[in-house]
Amino acid sequence: MTASYPGQLDTVALLIQIGDGGSPEVFAHPVLINQQRSYSKKSTSQATVVPRTDDPTQPGKTVRLPVATDSEISGDGIMDAASAKIYNDKVGTIMNIKVQLGSATGNLIVTGPYTLEDFTITGQKKGDLVTVALKFAQADDPTSSAHA
């Protein structure tokens, strides 16, 4: 019998592009986050304790209802040199971005409005490639899709 394994999310790269706001929207100015990289989506819940009606002296039960979701994208990698000024000027602004996590076609694609909260350029010494660190925070609800 042949062994069977679940498919793996390919974390080869995390590619970020900025949208131009047009219709249809065109995404450009790629940043390849190929070193440390993170995509995080989380939920905030409201907890309420519901008392027992049969015996109020006994502990109640906790019920949690989701009230919000949030996501962040961060990491560091290589940026197209022509894009450095564009990203620098976008710090603190809301923009549509497209994020592809995985292979060139993307295993997970997230698109939507995000705020660029951090943009850092670093380099160790002359002759080394410069890397950038970015952090985006969700500004509104993004959409996601998957590609095989």
Answer yes or no: are the C-beta atoms of 37 and 14 closer than 8 Å: yes
Query: What amino acid is encoded at 113 in this protein?
Result: P
Backbone angles phi, psi at 97, to 5 degrees: -130, 160
Q: Domains in the chain, please, with CATH?
A: 14-44+71-146 (2.40.30)
**pLDDT-based confidence at 143, cuts 50/70/90?**
very high
**CA–CA separation, 108 vs 61, rounded Å?**
37
Structure confidence at residue 148 (pLDDT): 53
Report the chain's mean pLDDT, rounded to a whole number: 87
